[in-house]
Amino acid sequence: MDAFWFIAFPYLALVLAIGVGIYRYYANRYSYSSLSSQLLENRKLFWGSVPWHYGITLILLAHLFAGLFPDAAAFILGGRIRLLVLELTGMALALFALFGLIVLIIRRLPTTSLVRRATSYMDGIVLAFLLVQVATGVSIAIFERWGSLWYLRTAVPWFWSLVKLHPDMSTVATLPGFVKVHFVVGFAIILLFPFTRLVHLVMFPIYYLWRPYQVVIWNRRPGGATVHSTETTR
Amino acid sequence: MNVRAHVSMVFHLDKCIGCHTCSLACKNLWTDRPGTEYMWWNNVETKPGTGYPTLYEDQEQYHGGWVLEDGKLRLKLGSRPTELVNISFNPRLPTLDDYYEPFTYRYKDLIDARPGEDQPVAKPISMITGEEMEIEAGPNWDDDLSGSPVYASNDPNLKALDQEQRKQFLEMQQLVFFYLPRICNHCLNPSCVAACPTGAIYKRGEDGIVLVSQEKCQGWRMCVSGCPYKKVYFNWNSGKAEKCILCYPRLETGQAPGCMHSCVGKIRYLGVVLYDADRIEETASRPDRELVEAQRNIILDPFDPDVIRQAQKDGVDEKVITAARKSPVYKYVKLWRLALPLHPEWRTLPMLFYVPPLLPVTASLTQQGRYELATDFFSSLESARMPIRYMASLFTAGDEDTVIAVYRKLLAGRMFKRAETVGDIPMEKALKALEEAQLTPREVEDIYYLTSLASFEEMFVIPPMLREVAIEMGVEPHEFQEERGAGFVRIPERGL
């Protein structure tokens, strides 16, 4: 059973996430949107969206950094004080994100509210999975302390074994149940990614930092033969 | 010089009767879908008033448009990194409360009601949730001032008046209002385009129409805040921004936009102007008081041989240049200098222009029971019922001289025609007024003709804009539809 969840399932999730994500982008780009409901409800969104997005973004980046550069991460976590500070920071961010997520869920609960009208069943599924994921993450931080360190010796080798197509789940097989749930739900969320609003994650418009302010599109460029060219005035 | 063509509009406010026919034509054409119920791409506001969405003119609240900092243009919304940081929660976004919750009535209650003593009532229900609701606001809640000075006194433009003027102005007997129809201004320096992180909003090179690509838009909502006129709206159902498209599918088939076509008072004029695209930034960076004049200057004379030569070089079609020569917009804005942009101080260079209203002439009842014109009305602008400063706050970034120059012309024109047709004003006096306003009798006749007598064909002058013709031979029509046409190859459905 573990072999399915820790070897087959991650591959399935990643292949679908990339394959369907790309297909959806080219086949139905219109469906790519943040699907914001801020117009309909503003106040709860502030207390939900801001903690959630900042908290989870930083935590995900930390996971990603440690996963990609385990040696560097081990070096940073080498000192007692540094480890303590980083663990506490991670814990604070996780609770911050959890608080935001709970507000976001409460926000969508009332059945007659305006926001509910802009809520799909998929939103419910996404919120449920995220709640399980963040809750297990927080409990790992509380009950299985120094996760930032043992993560490097358990999940990271397993992750790299998947990448290198030599799947080896021995480092994670003996971990407690709720830690395993955290891993599996993590890949479940990756699987959900192309089928839900989570696609907005990869659409983050970082290129806004350097794109020219004005966009002018010509149906036919004056004096030239190019059709549909983009030109900027600033 | 880089000559481009722009399809622009002029609104003659003295002719607007505030009937909202334009708004309804637009609503029925474009915004009758789920998610767009609250949108009025065209709306008509009572001025003084708070407008739609409420207090949209207060940029300290909404942070729309551009500001000049050390001679450089910056989005008032903030720098690029600020925008990205605020992407998960836009602190400057108007919410539904700032517009209104769209409602209808449960008319079926009238039919289904059981026989009884009381008249059945159709209860108001929300068009979004379908639940019963209390109606607390509407798109024109302060229409005709709503019988109260409350809305009028909250008008942000009244900040331009001093305490005493405000008090006088708001006395009920003194209170006077006019209508301000608004659509997207299709600006030369659009701040919605600049604020869009994705780059989904663009200006069409050929005619200047500003559009939101529904495929590219990802619903980050920065355009809604970025536009100082609040003319980009967020569709809560599709998760995309939408705005006035100047009815380009109608223009491309030679028809006037819905709002213009349905206008009862014939207040709207639509035509082509040529402008110098190289001077956009420079024009938008001028000091407040020079903005109107700078915008008049960026519009080029279509009779000038240099302009024509450059236009041909820049690929402006001969038919477009011909249309620019017959453009009613060019006449009102550049030739007669009567039409002014709305809130030029937001520095987006709006390309719709307004002829400010002269308002009804003040008259008093004489003892013989005859209406007499206030004796000083035609000569003294100070007794104008709408303070010049208020108009300057709306149309000239506070520059009263420009507004006075426009009013002098409008008044002189009226005096001249009055002397000519009624004769209760001496012709010498009228001619003197013309001289002061720097108008010739010939010009007055032209203005009078275009204002009062012109046919629809003279008010609506565009070149043929058939996009199909503009596409080269050999391009598959299907591909054309997908890439450039109006509409979608597939049904646009909300993503999950």
For the stretch B10-36, pLDDT in tens is: 999 999 999 999 999 999 999 999 999
pLDDT band at A224 (very low <50, low <70, confident <90, very high): very low
List pLDDT tens digits, range B250-265: 998 889 999 999 999 9
Task: Note the pLDDT of residue B483.
Answer: 52
Beta-carbon contacts of A60 under 8 Å, excluding residues fewer than 6 positions away, are none
**Residue-wise pLDDT tens digits, A40-83:** 999 999 999 999 999 999 999 999 999 999 999 989 888 889 99
| CATH number of the domain located at residue range(s) B362-454 in this protein | 1.10.3650.10
* Portion 122-181 of B in contact with A at CB < 8 A: 126, 128-129, 131
Alpha carbons B452 and B107: distance in angstroms, whole number:
43
Interface test with A, best of B218, B234, B490 (most A CBs within 10 A): B218
Task: Say if B212 is an interface residue toward chain A (CB within 8 Å).
Answer: no
pLDDT at A233: 44
Q: Is any Cβ of chain B less than 8 angstroms from the Cβ of A52? A: yes
Instruction: Write the secondary structure of chain B as one string of H (helix), E (strand) and C (coil).
Output: CCEEEEEEEEEEHHHCCCCCHHHHHHHHHHCCCCCCCCCCCCEEEEECCCCCCCCCCCHHHHCCCEEEECCEEEECCCCHHHHHHHHHCCCCCCCCCCCCCCEEECCHHHHHCCCCCCCCCCCEEECCCCCECCCCCCCCCCHHHHHCHHHHHCCHHHHHCCHHHHHHHHCCCCCCCEEEEECCCCCCCCHHHHHCCCCCEEEECCCCCEEECCCCCCCCCHHHHHCCCCCEEEECCCCEEEECCCCHHHHCCCCCCHHHHCCCCCCEEEEEEEEEHHHHHHHHCCCHHHHHHHHHHHEECCCCHHHHHHHHHCCCCHHHHHHHHCCHHHHHHHHCCCCEECCHHHCCCCCEEEECCCCCCCEEECCCCCEEECCCCCCCHHHCCCCHHHHHHHHCCCCHHHHHHHHHHHHHHHHHHHHHHCCCCCHHHHHHHHHHCCCCHHHHHHHHHHHHHCCHHHHEECCCCCHHHHCCCCCCHHHHHHHCCCCCCCCCCCCC
Which of B128, B193, B277 lies closest to A114 in CB terms? B128
Token output for B464: 């043929």
- Report CB contact under 8 Å: B189, A42: no
Task: Write down the pLDDT at residue A229.
Answer: 44
Residue B150 CB coordination number (10 Å): 12
Q: Is the pLDDT of residue A185 over 80?
A: yes
Measured from the Cβ of residue B19, the count of other Cβ atoms closer than 10 Å reads 14
- Residue ranges of domains in chain A: 2-208
Say if B117 is an interface residue toward chain A (CB within 8 Å).
Answer: no
Quick one: fold of A2-208? Answer: Fumarate Reductase Cytochrome B subunit (1.20.950)
> Which residues on chain A are in Cβ contact (under 8 Å) with B89?
38, 45-46, 49-50, 53
Interface of A with B in 75-104 (CB under 8 A): none
pLDDT for the residue numbered B162: 86
The pLDDT, as a whole number, for residue B163 is 86
Average pLDDT by consecutive 10-residue portion of chain B (496 residues)?
A: 96 96 97 95 94 94 95 95 95 95 94 90 94 92 85 88 81 78 97 96 94 94 97 96 94 92 96 96 96 97 97 91 96 97 97 89 58 53 74 94 92 89 88 92 96 96 73 51 58 82
The rounded distance, in Å, linking the Cα atoms of A17 and A23 is: 10
Q: A45: buried, middle or exposed (CB in 10 Å: 19+, 13-18, 0-12)?
A: buried
By C-alpha distance, the chain B residue nearest A203 is: B218
Overall residue count recorded for chain B in this entry: 496
| Mean pLDDT of the region A92-107 | 97
Of B89, B204, B234, the CB nearest to A50: B89
B218 touching A (Cβ < 8 Å): yes
Residue A201 touches partner B, C-beta closer than 8 Å? no
What pLDDT is attached to residue B494? 87
Q: Is A34 on the interface with B (CB under 8 A)?
A: yes
Task: Look at residue A1 in the predicted model and tell me its pLDDT.
Answer: 76
Place A234 in a pLDDT band, splitting at 50, 70 and 90.
very low
- Poorest-pLDDT segment among A48-62, A164-178, A210-224, B116-130: A210-224
Tokens of A44: 């709860």
- Give, for A1, the enclosing helix (H) or strand (E): none
Using a CB-CB cut-off of 8 Å, the residues of chain B touching A49 are 88-89
Mean pLDDT, all residues of chain A: 90
pLDDT, one tens digit per residue, over B316-366 is 989 999 999 999 999 999 999 999 999 999 999 999 999 999 876 655 555
Bond prior to A51 in cis (omega within 30° of 0): no
Query: What six digits make up the tokens of A169?
Result: 């789940």
Cα gap B106→B129, rounded to integer Å = 13
Predicted confidence at residue B379, as pLDDT, reads: 52
pLDDT of residue B32: 93
